[in-house]
Chains A and B, each alone.
Chain A
Amino acid sequence: MRKIQSSTLLNHFRIEADQLCVDYNGTVALYDASLNLDAGCICGLVGMNGAGKSTFFKALMGFVRPSRGKIRINGLSVQQAQREQAVAYVPQSEGIDCSFPVSVWDVVMMGRYGAMNLFRIPRESDRQAVIHALERVELLDLRNRPIGALSGGQRKRAFLARAIAQRASVLLLDEPFTGVDIRTEKLMADLFLQFRNEGHSILISTHDLSHVRDFCDLVVLINKTVLAYGKTSEVFTSENLTMTFGGVPPDLLSGPTSIEP
């Protein structure tokens, strides 16, 4: 579906974060956080509430300014990468007004704006991208609904569809699984695996540790800084998790699997 980005051929990492430090008015939220992410892999971001997961995403998108550190996406600065539609971001909660008079179709079409001309007149290819994205999250039937007339989980899918429609090589998903039903969870997990096979890189934060085991190639454990980073099979150990969650050993590792391998 997607062409290989020329920058990948130049051997850039998809995401390169080097020693990021972020503070909110002097309160440190993240320090010395480094991460390299290759093409075609899914990386899980795990940490307790307030560990700085969302802050990490916001720093990667340039929404909070790191006091130190360097970020490259596809070898480009964040602004350039955004202008080239290299990165799609779905925040933890959309701070949007749900009574806004736009339809699901309009919202997903907004994912295409960056690729359109200045006056945002959709071409046939943009329409195809929107239809395709809506199909993938199974919302095509509801495309004419106002966005406010969707349920919370359907709305989450609509915003995921918007990110898909963007056709970015890097997907940043901040807790995409909260508030969705099991069926949607499975649908989304399958979708992410497809994207990985198509060569996308996905950074995903989640509180459901079984997801990490099921489909993340890499895992980052954070608590204000990166505690451990590497292949899931090596890093995702109970000792490391105990350290991440401040001495509470989570036994979710032995919990039931929601996704068939």
Chain B
Amino acid sequence: MIELFGFTTNSPASFVIEPLSHEFMRRALVVSALVGSVCGLLSCYMTLKGWALMGDAVSHSVMPGVVVAYALGLPFSLGAFVFGVGSVTLIGFIKQKSRVKEDTVIGLVFTGFFALGLVLVSKIKSNIDLMHILFGSPLGISSNDLRQTLIISVVVLIALTLFRKDLVLYCFDPTHARSIGINTGFLHYLLLSALSLTAVAGLQTVGIILVVAMLVTPGATAYLLTDRFDRMIILAVISSVISSLLGVYISFWSDIETGGAIVLVQTILFLMAFLFAPKYGILKNKSFIS
């Protein structure tokens, strides 16, 4: 017997297998696993480049793009892409042309975009579900959204994998990248585009508000566990996929918000790494001193 959030199933096997008989659960699991792996991969670059705030900014800024795209009948990924990259360009422009500090500019721009999105949702009469955008709902994903999310995830996964080495170099030492003739502008926009696209993919599973967790936590967890970048990627993807799948199951069995469940599992994994990581966990240091 397993007891989870007050809900009881007969055995671990039925905890896993029984939901698979539902079409919507199979979809939710596929989407969550795929989105989880993309977010896990990207989160390594976000944490190492120090782009957590940028991830938050982009994920909120895609909101008006998604709304406009839905209203015009365009693919939502297109709208998200335009507004995501647009917001970052705007942040860069304002920072360069004024004396306001970068984090202030970021906070200012993304809340502006997000507010615009909220206003648009309430003004444009359409069948957009605000709750769906804000909090995600993988259990109720439409087949159109499903298809787009799958395409986005695969494209981003392939791009980030192919350019993995260059991106690591770009994050680690952009000066050297330039000095050996690598086009760092291209890599910068590749990472930004990947971020915008991943933000809308993540929006499907955990929603705009929590997507930044998907873009930061798996990378941070993996970072505590290893000193090698390749291993960090693998660990981040594994922890991200595990928490996504587990979150969906928990949400199914105990009828709680899916996005919240996914991010909570992720946070718990991080806390475990924080406490018990072999080299960087705090409990390890403590035993070392005493």
Chain A interface residues toward B at CB < 8 A: 61-63, 79, 82-85, 87-89, 91, 94-97, 100-103, 106-107, 110-111, 113-114, 118-120, 146, 162, 166
Contact = CB atoms under 8 A, between A and B. Distances in A.
Interface in B147-200: 162, 165-166, 168-169, 171-173, 175-176, 178-182
Given A97-B172, A103-B227, A106-B229, A119 B179 contact: no
**Closest A-B pairs by Cβ, 3 of them:** A83-B181, A114-B180, A120-B165
Contact of B227 (A91, A101, A119): A101
A27 B209 CA distance: 45
A13 B248 CA distance: 65
A79 to B, nearest CB: 7
A60 to B, nearest CB: 10
B267 interface: no
Nearest to A118: B162
Given A100-B172, A110-B169, 9 more contacts: A83-B181, A87-B179, A95-B175, A96-B173, A101-B48, A107-B172, A113-B165, A114-B182, A120-B166
B165 A119 contact: yes
Contacts of A63: 175, 178
Nearest to A120: B165
A120 B168 CA distance: 11
Interface in B220-240: 223, 226-229, 232
23 contacts: A61-B179, A62-B178, A82-B178, A82-B179, A83-B181, A85-B180, A88-B179, A89-B176, A91-B175, A97-B50, A101-B223, A101-B227, A101-B229, A101-B232, A102-B172, A102-B229, A103-B228, A111-B176, A113-B169, A113-B180, A114-B182, A162-B176, A166-B180
Given A82-B181, A114-B181, A119-B165, A101 B228 contact: yes
A202 to B, nearest CB: 15
Contact of B181 (A79, A94, A100, A106): A79
A89 B176 CA distance: 8
A88 B173 CA distance: 14
Nearest to B180: A114
Interface of B: 48, 50, 162, 165-166, 168-169, 171-173, 175-176, 178-182, 223, 226-229, 232
Nearest to B162: A119
Nearest to B174: A95
Given A113-B180, A119-B162, A146 B227 contact: yes
B58 to A, nearest CB: 21
Contacts of A91: 175
A84 B169 CA distance: 18
Contacts of A113: 165-166, 169, 180, 182
Contact of B172 (A79, A96, A114): A96
Nearest to A84: B181
A84 B171 CA distance: 22
A114 B157 CA distance: 24
A79 B162 CA distance: 24
Contacts of A146: 227
Nearest to A145: B227
Contact of A110 (B162, B173, B178, B232): B173
A88 B171 CA distance: 19
A85 B181 CA distance: 8
B179 A97 contact: no
B227 to A, nearest CB: 4
A118 to B, nearest CB: 8
Contacts of A102: 168, 172, 228-229
A260 B112 CA distance: 66
A106 B90 CA distance: 35
A168 B229 CA distance: 27
B208 to A, nearest CB: 29
A79 B50 CA distance: 28
A96 B176 CA distance: 10
B180 A82 contact: yes
Nearest to A81: B181
A83 B181 CA distance: 4
Nearest to A79: B181
A84 B181 CA distance: 8
Contacts of B182: 113-114
A110 B176 contact: yes
Nearest to A122: B165
